[in-house]
Amino acid sequence: MSAREELAHELQKHRRSVSGQSLKELARRTETSPSFVFEVVRGLLLPPEEQLRALLDAMDVGERAQQRALLLHQEAMAELPIRARTAARPLPAPDWRVPVPAAGEPDPVLFSTVKEFVAGLEDVRVWAGEPSLRRLEERSARLHQQRQTAYGKVLRRSTISDMLNATSLPQMEKVRHFLQICGVRDIDAWVYTWRRVRTIEKAALRRAA
């Protein structure tokens, strides 16, 4: 795993276990945009050091964890080609109407627990522009009428809410359809991760029995 990937993993861990704040809240506290925070947390963008410090402060990360993150940032910068290292990307101005990016959809590859997987589903909803549960149900109904659903029936808003707050792994077909109505293209990566997390979950249940 590269230093950049390790840094992204650390930021995701801090956001869930220490901060728990939404992308909008973190963007407000760092005076950036939700899409910028999303790209940094997912490892799609390596920010300037001062911007990383601001994000860590916004997450209320402890001093030792901050030092580790900054060290990983230095290593990740060293891994970049010289041209990329010296080409400063201007910091985005705050913009709460940032459109859904054409690329950079949430990547589940680092998930290994049910909690991480479920949090990733919420990240998908944010990436899709934070549509309401009602809007997602309407999208599901339209696809169901066209017989293009991955689930075979309409995904009700109560079911979606249960998925986003689940303590156990949601049914695979429900997950696939949720990803479909959110506009995710690489659904196969999520299916692969679902199977891996489910295997880990079942092994843990056997050990606890």
Residue pLDDT, tens place only, 65-102: 888 888 888 888 777 654 343 444 444 443 333 334 44
pLDDT at 103: 55
Mean pLDDT across 20-35 = 77
Q: Counting Cβ atoms within 10 Å, is residue 35 exposed (0-12), middle (13-18) or buried (19+)?
A: buried
First to last CA, the chain: 34
- List phi, psi (to 5°) of 2: -75, 165
> Do 155 and 140 form a contact (C-beta atoms < 8 A)?
yes
pLDDT at 3: 82
pLDDT at 85: 39
pLDDT of 107 > 80? The answer is yes
